[in-house]
Structure 1
């Protein structure tokens, strides 16, 4: 009797600080690689499909598949955003995206997100939503 099948493993390659294409916040992104291998008697032997690379935002949980070349480029740059769809695309004029430092107008984009977070309505005292 032979017991065979496949096994899939996710390997985390790096944590990168990028601008999220889903929520627009500068946050940490997990760069992961998924490998599917043929298993014989529950022992993974050899890969049966090409590895796939994924970026997942730790803030909103949005994930997207990236090409192997883009994943290698992100790793080679040591966390600097690479030009690709949504994740740290280069700005016009060669400016780099928001990196968490500097001020707007100095080659940096301001952080994206809810501009009204933490603000109270003007002219009204703060209200507790749990009291009636």
Structure 2
């Protein structure tokens, strides 16, 4: 019997967050994304494993993890 399983990662853009970068000091808006990781069985998503909200600076590439409430507070559609 053959069982095919793995992980599926999806990324959904939420919008722009009006918050400066802590690493380089860039004061412009940064894109926020919602990343989900799910366990798949026979290529069908079965079980959600991880859900996180992140933003990444377009200048230096430094990332920052946001809570769901922070993503809403800073202006992204969470």
Give the TM interval when normalised to the shorter protein: 0.7 to 0.9
8 Å CA contact 1:7, 1:37 repeated in 2: yes
Aligned equivalents of 2:34, 2:68: Cα separation in 1:
9
Q: Deviations over 1:93-118 (max 9, x none)?
A: xxxxxxxxxxxxxxxxxxxxxxxxxx
Task: Tell me the TM-score normalized by structure 1.
Answer: 0.50
Hey, what's the Cα distance between the residues in 1 that align with 2:74 and 2:18? 10
Structure 2, unpaired ranges of 5+? none
Q: Which runs of 5+ in 1 are unaligned?
A: 79-132
Partner of 1:101: none
| 3-state DSSP of counterpart to 2:69 | helix
Q: Comparing both structures, which one devotes a greater share of its residues to strand?
A: 2
Count of matched residue positions in the alignment of Structure 1 and Structure 2: 76
List per-residue Cα deviations over 1:18-42 (Å, max 9, x = no partner): 3211111212311111111111112
RMSD: 1.9
Equivalence map 1:1-132=2 (5 Å): 1-49=2-50, 51-75=51-75
Structure-2-length-normalised TM-score? 0.79
Task: Provide the C-alpha distance between the structure 2 equivalents of 1:71 and 1:24, rounded to a whole number of angstroms.
Answer: 19
> Distance in 2 between the 1:73 and 1:27 partners?
17
CA contact (8 A) 1:7 1:38 kept: yes
- Structure label with greater radius of gyration: 1
Structure 1 residue ranges, 4+ long, deviating more than 3 angstroms after superposition: none
